[in-house]
Amino acid sequence: MDIDILLILQGFRNGVGACLVDFMTKMSFIGEMNTVLIIIALIYWCVNKKFGNYLLMGWSGNRVVNGLLKVTACVYRPWIRDARIVPDSDALASATGYSFPSGHSMNAASLYGGAAIRKELSKVLRIVLGLIAVLIALSRNFLGVHTPQDILVGLGAGLLVMWLTGKLIVWIDKDPKKDIIVVCVGIAISVAVAVFAAFKSYPVDYDEAGKLLVDGAKMANDTYKGVGWCVGFWVGWILEKRYVNFSTDIPLMTRMTRLTTGLLSYYAVSLILSPLFKSLIPGVCGTIISCFIQMFYVSFIFPLCIKHFERTSTSTK
């Protein structure tokens, strides 16, 4: 049934629906991990710290949940299950790991869906954000890299995590001293997921030529990334809360300065520093550490820097 739906969409994509390929590719792009992370980071740094913190916490949790579900279910990608499926070539680059559930759908649920379920936003904005989340999920079907159940479970699980994240934040706010317990539990769960992914057995299937269809160890790479991001968030979150406590109640020009320097420095960390650590530390540890650095920079290092430089700038005036 799921393959049949993808074949219908594939026929449409290769026919009259060809005009939608570029649009769906762009929708898929705004659901990619790094795209979603930088958008959330800018909200956290420049727009609304509390709201950005909620999105960061929920997205980090969703990455671990997605990684756990993927290495537990070990569902092959559609084109591996059925050779008739020919996905869009541009979409293949972001189609990493196992298929179930869709990582893009959970990213969409984290940012756009997570914002849509917040009642403090206007009704129109919530509807638009919800529509974006749905379109991102559907783009993965349209481009042939996920089945309908992949995106449905991805959206559902992602929204559930965001709802639980909201409840968790309310619980912490009632008793701030419990934050260290939450951090310890979050890190422990992340480490447990990494250990599970490293030591579990994976399906071993071969094609007619005797070639291994899917290398389970490589498929678990996204899981290790999620663990690195999540641990990086929890460590950065508690340190920022204890020792920085920056604010987004700032003038417009300060917001613009943060946005510009944040973008430039984020890409320097993501494209230079993190890959450097990954090359120096091979294997699983390198993957986890490189993603830890990326998230730790977002949640703690950059807030620490802006707090210091903005304070220095104010004192010299």
> What's the pLDDT score for residue 217?
83
Instruction: Report how far apart, in Å, the C-alpha atoms of 252 and of each of 47, 258, 259, 290 are.
Output: 10, 10, 11, 33
Q: Are 26 and 92 in contact (CB under 8 A)?
A: no
For the stretch 14-68, pLDDT in tens is: 998 889 999 999 999 999 999 999 999 999 999 999 999 999 999 999 999 999 9
* 3-state class (DSSP) for residue 212: strand
Distance CA(62)–CA(114), nearest Å, equals 11
For the stretch 105-119, pLDDT in tens is: 999 999 999 999 998
Task: Say which range, 29-33, 176-180, 206-210, has the weakest mean pLDDT.
Answer: 206-210
Whether residue 314 has pLDDT greater than 70: no
Whether residue 303 has pLDDT greater than 80: yes
| Residue 212's pLDDT band (cuts 50, 70, 90) | confident
Average pLDDT, the chain: 92
Whether residue 315 has pLDDT greater than 60: no
Task: Say which range, 95-104, 120-129, 138-147, 304-313, has the weakest mean pLDDT.
Answer: 304-313
| Residue 218's pLDDT band (cuts 50, 70, 90) | confident
For the stretch 227-268, pLDDT in tens is: 999 999 999 999 999 999 999 999 999 999 999 999 999 999
Distance CA(303)–CA(191), nearest Å, equals 26
Cβ-count burial of 36 within 10 angstroms (0-12 exposed, 13-18 middle, 19+ buried)?
A: buried
**Cα 265 vs. chain centroid, distance in angstroms?**
19
> What's the pLDDT score for residue 89?
85
Terminal Cα distance for the chain, rounded? 68
Write b or e for each residue in 70-101: b if 16 or more Cβ atoms lie within 10 A of its Cβ, otherwise e.
Answer: bbeebbbbbbebeeebebbeebeebbbbbbbb
**Residue range 112-134: mean pLDDT, rounded:** 95
Q: How would DSSP label each residue in 115-139?
A: HHT-TTS-HHHHHHHHHHHHHHHHH
| Residue 207's pLDDT band (cuts 50, 70, 90) | confident
For the stretch 155-164, pLDDT in tens is: 999 999 999 9
**Residue range 210-231: mean pLDDT, rounded:** 91
Question: Which residues touch 164 (CB under 8 Å, ≥6 apart)?
Answer: 61
Residue 64 tokens, joined: 């671990």
Distance CA(32)–CA(103), nearest Å, equals 8
pTM attached to this predicted model: 0.93
Backbone φ and ψ of 68, nearest 5°: -65, -45
Question: Which residues touch 138 (CB under 8 Å, ≥6 apart)?
Answer: 24, 27, 151
